[in-house]
Amino acid sequence: MTSSCDRIAADLQAGAAGIGLLAGVGSRWLVVPLGVAVAGLLLAGKYGQVVAVLRYLMLGFLAFGAAAVLAHPDWPRLFEASLAAWPCSVPRSPAMSTCGRPSGAA
C-alpha cells in the first residue's frame, strides 16, 4: 500500500512538472488539480470512459520529450553521465567508488 501511494505521488508530481514546464506555471500549483481530476475519473467514470481518457493521455507522454528539449540540457554531458555509470553500478569494495576507482580519484 505504501509503495503504491509513493508511486502515485511520484507520478502526479512528474505529470505536474511536465505540464508546468510546457504551460510556464509552477508545478506545485498543478499537483492537486491533477490528482482531483484523476481521482474523479477513477471514481465517477465507467471503464470505457477511463480507457478512452487514458488512451488520449498516452499522447501526453510526448510532453516529457518536449520538456527535455525545452530544458536545453548539455546533451553531450548528459549522455556521458548517463552511460558512464551504467556498466558498474555496484561498488567492488568499500574503498572503491561505483566504477572501481579509489574514492578520491577523479
pLDDT by residue (tens digit) across 34-76? 889 888 888 888 888 888 887 887 777 777 788 788 888 898 9
Together in a domain, 63 and 89 = no
Together in a domain, 50 and 39 = yes
Average of pLDDT values for 90-101? Answer: 51
Domain limits for position 105: 74-106
State which H helix or E strand residue 84 sits in. helix 75-84
Three-class DSSP category at 95: coil
Specify the pTM. Answer: 0.50
Together in a domain, 55 and 68 = yes
Q: Specify the pLDDT at position 36.
A: 92
Together in a domain, 7 and 26 = yes
- Based on the structure, what is the number of domains in the chain? 2
What is the number of alpha carbons within 13 Å of residue 67 lying toward its C-beta?
18
Contact 26/16 with Cβ under 8 angstroms?
no
Supply 7's cell numbers.
508511486
